[in-house]
Structure 1
Amino acid sequence: MKLSSRLQKCFAIALAMLAGVVLYFFLIHWWVVAPWQRIDEEEHALRASYQRFSALVAQREELQARLDLQRQRPLSSRGLLTAREPEVAMSQLMQLVSERLSLEPATGVACSVLNRVPQIGASDGPLIPVALSVDLECGIESLTGTLHRLESEPPYLLIDTLSIRRLVSQDTVQSSSGRLSVKMQVRGYLSVSSVVDHE
């Protein structure tokens, strides 16, 4: 079927336009327009970051003054370990961890301690960090209660690291009675002044 000259012109124009669009995207857009668009987006992101950092720098003196004021206030003994020596504080930390384990959860498996490794760090300003690495076996309910009690009751303890994996039975691929293997590092603080006063 032979096309009329008018249709041939229309097809030729359509093909020329299609070729122009393809050439634009492959030769002009990706090599010229797209890089400029990326540069423009990066410029906007840098400008926004600069504005945020400028706002933080403007608040530096105020924040420094508040920090200095906070450092001058006496430490509250309620949130600190009450021992007079780092070694005694470590024993207190071990006792606190044992007391705050959720041994009788409403449902599930209770926590049991497998291993404890004490760590006494160097003084951090007016505080001496005392840490304890603990290996536990827990059910999910008892673990939840234990984590809450560790950090919410005075003296306050911090959980620095936490690793949880499901225990798998040797015979089957299924979990072993819903037990979890938990490794965590718990940290408490002892006031340097109390150690100095004791000495």
Structure 2
Amino acid sequence: MRPVSDREHRLVVRAAAGDREAFDALIGPRWERIFRIALRIVGTREDAEDVAQRACLRLWQTLDRFRAGEDLDGWIYRMVTNLAIDALRRRRARREEPGPGPAARRTVAPAAERRVLAAELEQALAEVTDGLPERQKAVFVLARIEGFAPAEIAKMLGLAPSTVRNHLFQARGHVARELARRFPGLLGRRGERR
């Protein structure tokens, strides 16, 4: 992860002192990714909006605890990921199921076979990913969808790099097996797309 720039450090200090504009300048460029991480973990827009808003509130309340030299992005995304995992656990404890994902709500032209398959794959991936244990899901989302490296994820989640690699290995295996089961012939023997 990248070190905090001088500009960001000044914004952190100002925001921690209660400067709302400085806080907005810190969060604004990161908002889309904050929301995307939350959405990929919790699965519904409503829950993702709630998680993202709670994360911003918590960041606002705890920004004075951020230390110079720490990774600001890692600190922010760790908070979002942990809040999303907590929300997912609460929902699973209530045995609520999320509504259909974006792929299920889309209408695709009948002649556009590739788009239909892509939408089906997207929906299947969302369903399979949603079935992963919370930590595996968080690691998978951060690595495969958000593009973070295992070392970055380890710092964000406070896990050993080997634990992150293990979660990622298990999640990829589960996802590949489930997609191969749902779409026989689409994936090769080791999960490669044909």
Same structural fold, with TM-score higher than 0.5 when normalized by the shorter chain: no
For the superposition of Structure 1 and Structure 2, which TM-score range results when normalised by the shorter chain? under 0.3
* TM-score under structure 1 length normalisation: 0.25
Higher helix share: 2
Higher strand share: 1
Greater Cα radius of gyration, structure 1 or 2:
1
* TM-score under structure 2 length normalisation: 0.25
